[in-house]
Amino acid sequence: MKFRAKIVDGACLNHFTRVSNMIAKLAKTCTLRISPDKLNFILSDKLANGGVSMWCELEQENFFSEFQMEGVSRENNEIYLELTSENLARALKTAQNARALKIKLTNKHFPCLTVSVDLLSVSSSSRIVTHDIPIKVIPRKLWKDLQEPVVPHPDVSIYLPVLKIMKSVVEKMKNISSHLVIEANLNGELNLKIETELVCVTTHFKDLGNPPSASEDASQDRNPEQMAEVHLEIRKLLQFLVGQQVNPTKALCNIVSNKMVHFDLLHEDVSLQYFIPALS
Amino acid sequence: MPLLTWHIQDENDQYSSVGSLDNVRNVSTIFKSIHFRDHATYFATKNGIKVTVENAINAFLQALIFQEFKVQEDMTSSIAVGTLNALRMCHQGYGCPCILFLEEERAVTVCKINTQEPEETLDYDFCSTNVTNKIILQSEGLHEAFSELDVMSEVLQIALSPDKLSVFGNAGSSHLDYLKDSGLVEAFHCNQTQINRYRISLLKPSTKALVPSCKVSIQTDNRGFLSLQYMIRKEDEQICFVEYYCCPDEEVPEFES
């Protein structure tokens, strides 16, 4: 098993750093999947995560000037590693004005992802900072649980409002209730609702727009005013929103009534899918 | 600026009280200053809205500060103050749920608040004819009094005399004087010397109103009851008041100076 890659472009480095920061906010521990064309950050929907799952994908050639990998075997040319997301984010923090960044799989006493940052110091001499991030190699028999989630056909698909506004609304709702209802219709309307004994609060977002639907028949049958709703734990929704420091290039929300919400975002060329299950 | 409008419906679905407010932030400051109990009682009259917490703290919002204000009948009701700050401002109506609309950029929030039977309010019976002493101070003067003295004290002794206001803490071991002719004092009317003690735990909540206020009026009546009235000036120069009443502690003996 081998992996080594290098980033030399400043913009690519900053983008990669932003991605790792986002992952660190979304998942404490995650799986890094390395394949010839892509890198994926994966969180599978285990009970420990409260059923939340995440699939983040980036094309390696958009970031790395050099990229070599050799998977577990020729038929299974992939590597799955488990790591603590914060460790990667912290290592990349030192790479802010770096000349180059190298990542490789090593085995120093224990398996590591070694991140070397080539810094240009004041005196124009080069300094290299090395981080050894402990990782766990995930055996092939567990790979089946870490595949790209199949997105069930949604009842409603809608573009999200500005995430910062959504986050501030949800943060305030957290003070009143531990769960909320997210609902949307094919008329570009999305509502966030909480209800307690004393008070009901609903925030309405309008004119959001719905993407053209994949299946014509389904959307023609559905009354555009009709809301599809899911009951969610506020904490899980807030964790997702807090992870989005920058407003994405594209943000879509797919609702499967009473089952789950699927957030489909694009941060420039990095795609993020985040699934939150309905409250049981 | 976030825009707030509210409608209170009665059984016939008629709006019995309607108001709207352009700048919610100022009013939310006032509500934050009285937010230390879960419930408040609300009185709506033609002159404005009075919100009372724990029978001793009142916030009065004059009708003038609202862009639109209409009350058909005086109403009393009680709401959960806990929701006030989370939602930036809440109002309430009698019997039926009160509905509030808060408009911000691209999002409209609607709150339906259920009301409850108001508790009987205690009337402190503090009326202006019985006021013996009255002082108006600039608020910055009081900051010190409240922050320094309350650290170790359980009781604050307030002594009003014809030439000064003295505040004692720590059983008399620390004290602050406000002289009649000091720059901080705007008005000083003291007919008789009065010395009273008040429990810090009862006065402490009033410090929340001190921060946003510009002036404080301190009055005592012939029973030694204390009234603190904080004047809060909004951005557009309009004024709101928060009042606190406190009864004197008869059990604690006078501090030795």
Nearest chain B CA: its distance from A193 CA (Å):
9
Nearest chain B CA: its distance from A153 CA (Å):
28
Percent of chain B's residues with pLDDT above 90? 0
Are B233 and B159 within one domain? Answer: yes
Chain B residues close to A238, C-beta within 8 Å = none
What is d(CA B110, CA B96) in angstroms, rounded to the nearest whole number?
15
Residue numbers of B between 80 and 119 with CB closer than 8 Å to A: 80, 82-83, 85-88, 90, 104-114
Nearest chain A CA: its distance from B113 CA (Å):
4
Look at A201 and B111 and tell me if their CB atoms are within 8 Å: yes
Look at B111 and A200 and tell me if their CB atoms are within 8 Å: yes
Whether residue B56 lies inside any domain: the answer is: yes
Q: What is the pLDDT of residue A166?
A: 92
Q: What is the pLDDT of residue A6?
A: 96
Q: What is the pLDDT of residue A108?
A: 83
- pLDDT exceeds cutoff 70 at A119: yes
> Pick from B113, B144, B162: which residue ends a domain?
B113
What is d(CA A201, CA A65) in angstroms, rounded to the nearest whole number?
51
Q: What is the pLDDT of residue B24?
A: 53
The better pLDDT of the pair B17, A167 is held by A167
Number of domains in chain B: 2
Angle at A105 between CA A99 and CA A111, to 5 degrees: 130
Of B79, B107, B110, the CB nearest to A165: B107
Of A162, A201, A206, the CB nearest to B109: A201
Angle at A275 between CA A220 and CA A199, to 5 degrees: 85
Q: What is the pLDDT of residue A35?
A: 95
Average of per-residue pLDDT values in chain B: 67
Instruction: Give the best-scoring range by mean pLDDT among A188-197, B54-63, B102-111, B234-243.
Output: A188-197
Chain A residues close to B93, C-beta within 8 Å = none
Q: What is the pLDDT of residue A63?
A: 95
Q: What is the pLDDT of residue B84?
A: 37
Look at A162 and B114 and tell me if their CB atoms are within 8 Å: no
Q: What is the pLDDT of residue A187?
A: 92
Q: What is the pLDDT of residue B46?
A: 56
Structure tokens at B28: 């939310």
| Mean pLDDT value across residues A237-257 | 93
**pLDDT tens per residue, range A55-101:** 999 999 999 999 999 998 888 999 999 999 999 999 999 888 788 99
- pLDDT exceeds cutoff 90 at B38: no
**pLDDT tens per residue, range A209-239:** 999 876 555 556 788 899 999 999 999 999 9
Q: What is the pLDDT of residue B85?
A: 36
Are B38 and B63 within one domain? Answer: yes
A172 in contact with chain B, both atoms CB, cutoff 8 A: yes
The better pLDDT of the pair B226, A234 is held by A234
Nearest chain B CA: its distance from A154 CA (Å):
24
What is d(CA B250, CA B197) in angstroms, rounded to the nearest whole number?
8
Look at B107 and A173 and tell me if their CB atoms are within 8 Å: no
Cα A106 to the chain's mean position, in Å?
Answer: 26
By C-alpha distance, the chain B residue nearest A205 is: B107
Chain B residues close to A205, C-beta within 8 Å = 106-107
Are B160 and B104 within one domain? Answer: no
Task: Return the minimum-mean-pLDDT range out of A158-162, A177-181, A272-276, B46-50.
Answer: B46-50
Whether residue B256 lies inside any domain: the answer is: no
Whether residue B123 lies inside any domain: the answer is: no
**pLDDT tens per residue, range B119-164:** 555 566 666 667 888 889 888 888 777 776 556 678 888 888 888 8
Q: Is B11 helix (H, G, I), strand (E, B) or coil?
A: coil
- pLDDT exceeds cutoff 90 at B11: no
Interface with chain B: mutation pick from A170, A192, A201, A206, highest number of B CBs within 10 Å: A201
B79 in contact with chain A, both atoms CB, cutoff 8 A: yes
pLDDT band at A158 (very low <50, low <70, confident <90, very high): very high
What structural domains and CATH numbers belong to chain A? 2-145 (3.70.10.10), 156-277 (3.70.10.10)
Are B12 and B105 within one domain? Answer: yes
Chain A residues close to B111, C-beta within 8 Å = 199-202
Q: What is the pLDDT of residue B19?
A: 55
> Pick from B58, B90, B113: which residue ends a domain?
B113
Q: What is the pLDDT of residue B73?
A: 42
What is d(CA B81, CA A79) in angstroms, rounded to the nearest whole number?
55
Average of per-residue pLDDT values in chain A: 90
- pLDDT exceeds cutoff 60 at B8: no
Cα A275 to the chain's mean position, in Å?
Answer: 10
List, in order, residues 6 or more apart from A186 with CB less than 8 Å away: A156, A158, A210, A219, A222, A224, A226
**pLDDT tens per residue, range B41-99:** 655 555 555 666 555 555 555 544 444 444 444 444 444 443 333 333 334 344 556 66
Are B72 and B137 within one domain? Answer: no
Whether residue B77 lies inside any domain: the answer is: yes
Are B12 and B95 within one domain? Answer: yes
- pLDDT exceeds cutoff 90 at A263: yes
| Mean pLDDT value across residues A142-169 | 91
The better pLDDT of the pair A254, B89 is held by A254
**pLDDT tens per residue, range A6-62:** 999 999 999 999 999 999 999 999 999 999 999 999 998 776 777 899 999 999 999
Q: What is the pLDDT of residue B148?
A: 65
Are B226 and B162 within one domain? Answer: yes
What is d(CA A222, CA A156) in angstroms, rounded to the nearest whole number?
9
The neighbour count for residue A75, using CB atoms within 10 Å, is 6
- With tokens 């997105």, the residue in question is A151
Interface with chain A: mutation pick from B84, B112, B115, highest number of A CBs within 10 Å: B112
The better pLDDT of the pair A181, B53 is held by A181
Nearest chain B CA: its distance from A205 CA (Å):
5
For B120-141, give one letter per residue: b (16+ CB within 10 A) or e: eeeebebeeeebbbbbbbebeb
Whether residue B89 lies inside any domain: the answer is: yes
Q: Report ipTM for this prediction.
A: 0.71
- pLDDT exceeds cutoff 90 at B226: no
Look at B110 and A204 and tell me if their CB atoms are within 8 Å: yes
Look at A161 and B106 and tell me if their CB atoms are within 8 Å: yes
Are B83 and B157 within one domain? Answer: no
Are B138 and B97 within one domain? Answer: no
Of A176, A200, A205, the CB nearest to B86: A176
Whether residue B29 lies inside any domain: the answer is: yes
**Single pTM value for the model:** 0.70
B147 in contact with chain A, both atoms CB, cutoff 8 A: no
How big is the A-B interface in CB pairs under 8 Å? 55
Chain A residues close to B85, C-beta within 8 Å = 175
Nearest chain B CA: its distance from A230 CA (Å):
19
For A90-115, give one letter per residue: b (16+ CB within 10 A) or e: bbbebbeebebbbbbbbeeeebbbbb
Are B158 and B80 within one domain? Answer: no
Q: What is the pLDDT of residue A257?
A: 94
In the DSSP assignment, the letter for residue B116 is: B
> Pick from B82, B113, B144: which residue ends a domain?
B113
Q: Which residue range(s) make up the domain with B89?
A: 3-113
Q: What is the pLDDT of residue A208?
A: 93
CATH number, position B182: 3.70.10.10
DSSP bridge pairs for A276: A261
Are B153 and B90 within one domain? Answer: no
Q: What is the pLDDT of residue A56?
A: 96
Are B108 and B135 within one domain? Answer: no
